[in-house]
Every structure is written in C-alpha cells, then in structure tokens.
Amino acid sequence: MESKCSICPRRCGTDRKISVGFCGTGADIRAARAALHFWEEPCISGSRGSGAVFFCGCNLKCVFCQNREISAGGGGTVISPLELSEIFLKLQSAGAHNINLVTPTHYVVQIKEALSKLREPLTIPIVYNCGGYESAEGLEILKDDVAVYLTDMKYAESALAQRYSGAADYYETAVSALKKMLLYAGAPKYDGGGLMQGGVIVRHLVLPGCRHDSIEILHRLKAEFGTSAFRLSLMSQFTPTENLQNYPELNRRITSFEYNSVLDAALDLGFSDAYIQERSSAKPEYTPPFDLTGII
Ligand code: SF4
C-alpha cells in the first residue's frame, strides 16, 4: 500500500514515500486544524463541540470545494502518528463530544497507527467524516475504531460526478461504501442527550441547477436502504467559489424553490427525521480558518 497506493477508489498507484498521489498527499500526515467545531449536525456538535481534525488533501477535489486551500493537499503542518494521538487526547480533555476525522480517506493507515499509540483510551466516539468516495479496503482498516460515519452522497448521475469531481463511478462507489458503513456502524444510536454514539449520517448538498439529481438520489437511497437505516442531512449551504469560470452554472447560490423541492421530496419519501438547513444559513464558521492557529 505504501509503495503503490490503492487505499481509495482512485487506486492511482503512487509511491507515497517519494511522491504525492491524486489526493495531493504523500506518506506524512498533514493537518490544517484541530479544534472544537460547532458546525456539524446537532447530534455531532452537541453543546461542547466536535473534536475536529482537518486533514490536508482529498481524493475527490470537487470544483466547488469550500475547503480548497487544504483539499489540494498543500498547507497545514506535518504531524507524526504519535502527535496525532496526542491531539486526539487533547481534544477529548477539552470536552469534545467525539473525534471528528475530516476527510480521513487517504490517511487511514496513519490514523490506525496513531490510535495504536494512544497513551490512554479514547472514551468518546470516532466520527469518519468523508466525501463518500471510499474503497472497501480503506474502510476496513478503521472499522473497529469508527463509531459514526458522516458521509456524503453527492451525485446520482455519472456525468455530473465526472464534471464536478472527475469520478464518473461516484454513485456506485459511494453506495458500496455506504453498505459497508451500515454493516460496521449499524442503525443510528444516541445517548440520553441526543448525541450520536453509533450509526451513519448521509449528507447531501443541493447544487445549483441539480435538484432533479438530488431527488433521484433520494429515490435511489430509499429503494436501496429504506428511510431509517441512516440519518439524512440535506444541506443548502452551497456558496460559489472564485475558481468557477469554467462552471458558470455553479456561480450562484441555490434558490428557495430548488431546496424546498428537494426537501419536499425527502419528506414525501418518508425521511421524516432528516436534518434540514435554512437556505440562508451559510455562515463563515462552516469554513474555519486553516491557518495552523487551530492545532490544539
Ligand atoms: S489515497 Fe491518494 S495516493 Fe492513494 S490511491 Fe487514493 S488518490 Fe492515490
């Protein structure tokens, strides 16, 4: 795996000891922020915050990414697995409800090593927060450690997935991954305070001009999994970024009509406990500063 990486569905075969792969990362862990984070779903953020570790790099690199400054793989600081294990414990001591691994996909081997170096146990759940483009082999590495999967389901149509993420096989790959996640984490479980202790949240960000694709995703998910196997989170916070000259159709926020039509479809299909966002709810805090000041 280290000499010919195939840990994610890109299977780009890079020797990460001497080069960086499609995900923009080599063998070293690069992280841009580790801090209490209050902008996930309420069952993850709770009152004290989620202990989020934002890793640099990404195996999708969506053209509209809100975290572009770190998803390309640059920035951040190199930390060892031992240092990462210390960060986990500091976040736990700071009161985090969970350890929230933000796009761990390309670092599962290193995270497993960090977890093996903990000098005291983690008593809070580990959240695997990813874009949904996961391999079975990658997910298996952390299956005994992860309690909650917070995963995306971005596209149904392969043409959209190819255009915006260069991953024509996104939907099939993400559904296969979701099956693994449901197998490993089971049905949603909460503590007495409503914090998720196990299970899967499936996030979907509604994109401008793509409401039909969003509704298609909901129909497919219901047909495949029903409406109670996971918790649905419908997101409206899409915000155009500066690099979208070649994607003019994405150069606007979504409309109320677009979001409400997707929401209505979700409710009609029976996703009655879905998390929903006010369309005007995009806040700068959703994208925290990745300036190294946030390494706890
Ligand atoms: S994790 Fe990175 S290096 Fe490994 S296969 Fe995926 S894109 Fe390539």
Over the stretch 237-250, which tens digit does the pLDDT of each residue have? 999 998 899 999 99
The pLDDT tens digits of the residues spanning 265-280 come to 999 999 999 999 875 5
Q: Whose CA is nearest to atom 2 of ligand 1?
A: 23
The pLDDT tens digits of the residues spanning 201-211 come to 999 999 999 99
The pLDDT tens digits of the residues spanning 208-223 come to 999 999 999 999 999 9
Is 268 in a helix, a strand, or coil? helix
The pLDDT tens digits of the residues spanning 62-119 come to 999 988 888 877 788 999 999 999 999 999 999 999 999 999 999 999 999 999 999 9
Q: Is residue 22 part of a domain?
A: no
Domain tally, the chain: 1
Ligand 1 centroid, distance to 180 Cα (angstroms): 20
- pLDDT at residue 247 in the model: 97
Residue type, 198: G
Q: Is residue 238 part of a domain?
A: yes
Residue 64 neighbours by CB under 8 Å, 6+ apart? 164, 207, 238, 240, 241, 244, 247, 250
- Read off the pLDDT band of 232 (50, 70, 90): very high
Neighbours of 58 (CB within 10 A): 27
Percentage of residues in the chain with pLDDT exceeding 70? 93
Q: What angle do CA 234, 209, 243 make, to 5 degrees?
A: 95
Q: Whose CA is nearest to atom 6 of ligand 1?
A: 8
Q: Is residue 16 part of a domain?
A: no
Identify the domain containing residue 41 by its residue range: 29-286
- Give the residue with greater pLDDT, 42 vs 296: 42
- pLDDT at residue 126 in the model: 98
- Read off the pLDDT band of 295 (50, 70, 90): low
Ligand 1 centroid, distance to 68 Cα (angstroms): 18
| 61 C-beta closer than 6 A to ligand 1 | no
User: Which pTM value belongs to this model?
Assistant: 0.95
Q: Is residue 14 part of a domain?
A: no
The pLDDT tens digits of the residues spanning 27-39 come to 999 999 999 999 9
Q: Report the CATH number that the domain containing residue 85 is assigned in CATH.
A: 3.20.20.70
Q: Is residue 202 part of a domain?
A: yes
Q: Is residue 187 part of a domain?
A: yes
Q: Is residue 293 part of a domain?
A: no
